[in-house]
Amino acid sequence: MQTLTATEADDVRDALLAAERRTGLRFAAYAGPAVGPRRHFSERLHAALGEEADRAVLVFVDQRGRGLEIVTGRRARERLSDADCRLAAASMAAILGTGDLVGGIVAGVWLLGDRVSRQG
């Protein structure tokens, strides 16, 4: 995982917790290189959430490798469409492209949480 400062880690943690409170879903983020194929690695990270995986959304970012994945569990997918995930990914990619890792993650998590909240 890429090393974040304490303040950056707090910013990401705050965004994840805020999204969880607004939606009732579990949000997680991982920043770092994939071990093996990126999609497979991010799906393994998502599965590692255990019992929470079914209602979880995982955001995976490999800034150096220019990779981004959003993985949703079955219950999360009922409230978050592929189009919602593509919108969040596009927003994140624009911010990540400027070199702002934390800003990209926070914006993506916020947008995903907002899209779920709008679904009710």
Cβ neighbours of residue 110 closer than 8 Å, sequence gap 6 or more: 15, 18, 19
Judged against a pLDDT cut of 70, whether residue 105 lies above it is answered with yes
Please report the pLDDT score of residue 4 as a whole number: 86
- Mean pLDDT for all residues in the chain: 94
Give the domain ranges of the chain: 6-119
pLDDT tens digits for 16-75? 999 999 999 999 999 999 999 999 999 999 999 999 999 999 999 998 888 999 999 999
Give the H or E element holding residue 60: strand 56-62
Write down the architecture of domain 6-119 according to CATH.
Answer: Roll (3.10)
Counting other chains too, the contacts that 34-37 makes at CB distance below 8 Å and 24 or more residues apart are: 34/60, 34/62, 34/65, 34/67
Look at the alpha carbons of 89, 95, 39, 53 in this order and tell me if their dihedral is positive or negative. Answer: negative
